[in-house]
């Protein structure tokens, strides 16, 4: 479940939890008000009784800690690099140890099957932090002829996001992590007496870090308590992911299964920059060679209403696109979201109409993504201004 609009908090069902993974951190934050989502086979809190807008401003001005469901899958063995070159559309051989790289996996027809971040942990050892979907099974299906092992490291992911996150991680690591750790750099660090994997990445467009546990080797509750104690002097609070959703959409970060799916090529999703057609054959390359490289996915702003999923975009009386996600942006003080157009065109800069599921229509503006900070100056730590 990847939709996190306000109505989703009321559209809930009870499910059996035996086949899904419970978070090892849940006892530290659960309340009777908690609403959970399902993502990559894992439960995660999308709401916990908080005011999402208030939490959003804590993230933008201080820091939030999130328990997120993204799932690392390990790819290791002598053929790890050629295998990853085969299954991912982006060049992998140049990824240095201790670095991460955003990459997508395509279907043979050229559609986006999976997106995530690939980390190079050690020689012949990688973690792909997948979004929602059966990616481990998909990797196994393509592993024939390669000397690789596909495995689940049972790593759980915590994100600390916001301008004070660097000071928090400096304290949590007893000074090992400082401002010399670059964007998309990663490594193993001691946090409170436990070795975990830490990356300078996130899902918010803010300065932030992700902390990856090591399965049964990690005392998860002790790790959580250590991070909370390290963050308290710097104003860090826990939040469910409703506040993260607002910020990730502002940052132009796409959700697999909601904003992108196998019916779309990376080009249509605006992700052509992660497709390296010059490299040797990879899954989907033949289809992408002949694909239209013009994007179909753009941003939309609406001052009068929330651009909800299911809304239709009209050019005059003609339907030309649909909304995949919509939220209210606290920073821009208007409704924003993603619109997927039916055909390529010079859409940015246009004023169109959005017809909501209620039947109401309002003017809207089509814009390039992201909605602000296109050079990622905030996430890179180059823009330290606090709103």
Angle between helices 52-61 and 242-250 (to 10 degrees): 60
Report, as an integer, the average pLDDT of 130-138: 94
Same domain, 171 and 237: yes
- Which pLDDT belongs to residue 198? 98
Instruction: Confirm whether 90 is domain-assigned.
Output: no
User: Strand, coil or helix: what is 271?
Assistant: coil
Task: Report the alpha-carbon angle 156-162-166, nearest 5.
Answer: 80
Instruction: Confirm whether 270 is domain-assigned.
Output: no
Report, as an integer, the average pLDDT of 56-73: 98
Supply the CATH number for residue 223's domain.
3.30.1360.120
Which of 195, 220, 249 lies at the terminal end of a domain, its last residue? Answer: 249
On the question of pLDDT at 8 being above 90, the answer is no
Q: What is the C-alpha separation between 18 and 16, in angstroms, rounded?
A: 6
Report, as an integer, the average pLDDT of 217-225: 98
> Looking at per-residue confidence, does 85 or 3 come out higher?
85
Instruction: Confirm whether 108 is domain-assigned.
Output: no
Instruction: Confirm whether 160 is domain-assigned.
Output: yes
- Which pLDDT belongs to residue 7? 60
- Which pLDDT belongs to residue 10? 60
Same domain, 163 and 244: yes
For the stretch 300-316, pLDDT in tens is 999 999 999 989 999 99
Same domain, 185 and 243: yes
Instruction: Confirm whether 382 is domain-assigned.
Output: yes
- Percentage with pLDDT > 90 across the chain: 93
Same domain, 181 and 307: no
Instruction: Confirm whether 353 is domain-assigned.
Output: yes
Longest dimension (CA), the chain: 63
The strand pair at 236-238 and 63-68 is best described as parallel
Which of 215, 233, 249 lies at the terminal end of a domain, its last residue? Answer: 249
Report, as an integer, the average pLDDT of 86-103: 98
Block residue for tokens 């299906």: 141
Prediction pTM value: 0.94
Which tokens belong to 243?
A: 């506040």
Report, as an integer, the average pLDDT of 207-229: 98
Same domain, 173 and 25: yes
- Which pLDDT belongs to residue 2? 43
Same domain, 344 and 237: no
Report, as an integer, the average pLDDT of 325-348: 97
For the stretch 241-287, pLDDT in tens is 999 999 999 999 999 999 999 999 999 999 999 999 999 899 999 99
Same domain, 299 and 386: yes
On the question of pLDDT at 373 being above 80, the answer is yes
Task: Report the alpha-carbon angle 81-216-255, nearest 5.
Answer: 55
On the question of pLDDT at 169 being above 80, the answer is yes
Judged on CB neighbours under 10 Å (0-12, 13-18, 19+), 368 is middle
- Which pLDDT belongs to residue 4? 53
Report, as an integer, the average pLDDT of 109-118: 98
Q: What is the C-alpha separation between 212 and 218, in angstroms, rounded?
A: 10
- Which pLDDT belongs to residue 20? 84
Report, as an integer, the average pLDDT of 6-35: 78
Under a CB-based contact definition with an 8 Å cutoff, are residues 364 and 38 in contact?
A: no
For the stretch 98-110, pLDDT in tens is 999 999 999 999 9
Which of 221, 249, 277 lies at the terminal end of a domain, its last residue? Answer: 249
User: Which of 97, 79, 87, 103 lies closest to 197, judged by CA?
Assistant: 97
Total domains, the chain: 2
> What is the number of other CB atoms lying within 10 angstroms of the CB of residue 342?
12
Instruction: Confirm whether 283 is domain-assigned.
Output: no
- The alpha carbon torsion through 222, 118, 203, 382 (nearest 10 deg) reads 100
For residue 313, give its domain range.
Answer: 294-387
- Which pLDDT belongs to residue 149? 98
User: Which of 38, 2, 15 lies closest to 309, judged by CA?
Assistant: 2
Same domain, 178 and 231: yes
- Which pLDDT belongs to residue 1? 39
Same domain, 235 and 336: no
- Which pLDDT belongs to residue 18? 56
Q: Sorting pLDDT into bands at 50, 70 and 90, what band is 60? A: very high
Same domain, 203 and 325: no
Q: What is the C-alpha separation between 270 and 170, in angstroms, rounded?
A: 35
Phi, psi of 147 (to 5 degrees): -85, 80
Same domain, 238 and 385: no
Instruction: Confirm whether 277 is domain-assigned.
Output: no
User: Strand, coil or helix: what is 137?
Assistant: helix
């Amino acid at each position: 479940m990847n939709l996190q609009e306000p109505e989703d908090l009321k559209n809930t069902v009870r499910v059996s939890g035996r086949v899904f993974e419970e978070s090892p951190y849940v006892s530290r934050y659960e309340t009777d008000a908690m609403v959970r989502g399902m993502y990559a086979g894992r439960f995660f809190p999308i709401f916990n009784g908080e005011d999402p807008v208030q939490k959003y401003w804590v993230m933008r001005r201080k820091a939030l800690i999130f328990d997120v469901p993204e799932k690392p899958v390990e790819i290791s063995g002598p053929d790890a690099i050629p295998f990853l070159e085969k299954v991912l559309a982006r060049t992998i051989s140049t990824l240095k140890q201790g670095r991460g790289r955003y990459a997508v996996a395509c279907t043979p027809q050229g559609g986006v099957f999976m997106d995530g971040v690939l980390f190079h942990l050690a020689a012949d050892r990688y973690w792909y932090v997948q979004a929602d979907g059966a990616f481990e099974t998909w990797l196994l299906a393509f592993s024939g002829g390669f000397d690789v092992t596909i495995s689940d490291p049972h790593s759980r992911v915590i994100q600390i996001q916001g301008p004070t996150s660097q000071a928090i991680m400096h304290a949590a690591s007893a000074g090992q992590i400082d401002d010399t750790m670059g964007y998309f750099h990663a490594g193993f660090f001691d946090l409170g007496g436990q070795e975990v994997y830490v990356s300078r990445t996130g899902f918010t467009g803010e300065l932030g870090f992700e902390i990856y546990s090591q399965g049964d080797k990690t005392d998860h509750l002790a790790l959580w308590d250590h991070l909370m104690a390290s963050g308290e002097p710097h104003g860090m609070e826990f939040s469910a992911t409703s506040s993260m959703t607002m910020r990730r959409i502002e940052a132009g970060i796409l959700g697999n299964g909601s904003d992108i799916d196998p019916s779309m090529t990376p080009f249509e999703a605006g992700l052509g920059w992660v497709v390296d057609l010059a490299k040797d054959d990879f899954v989907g390359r033949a289809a992408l060679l002949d694909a239209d490289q013009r994007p179909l996915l753009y941003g939309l702003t609406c001052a009068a209403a929330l651009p909800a999923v299911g809304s239709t975009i009209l050019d005059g009386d003609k339907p030309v696109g649909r909304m995949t996600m919509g939220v209210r942006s606290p920073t821009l003080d208007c409704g924003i979201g993603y619109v997927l157009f039916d055909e390529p065109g010079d859409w940015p800069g246009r004023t169109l109409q959005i017809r909501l599921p209620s039947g109401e229509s309002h003017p809207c503006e089509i814009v390039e993504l992201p909605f602000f900070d296109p050079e990622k100056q905030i996430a890179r730590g180059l823009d330290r201004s606090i709103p």
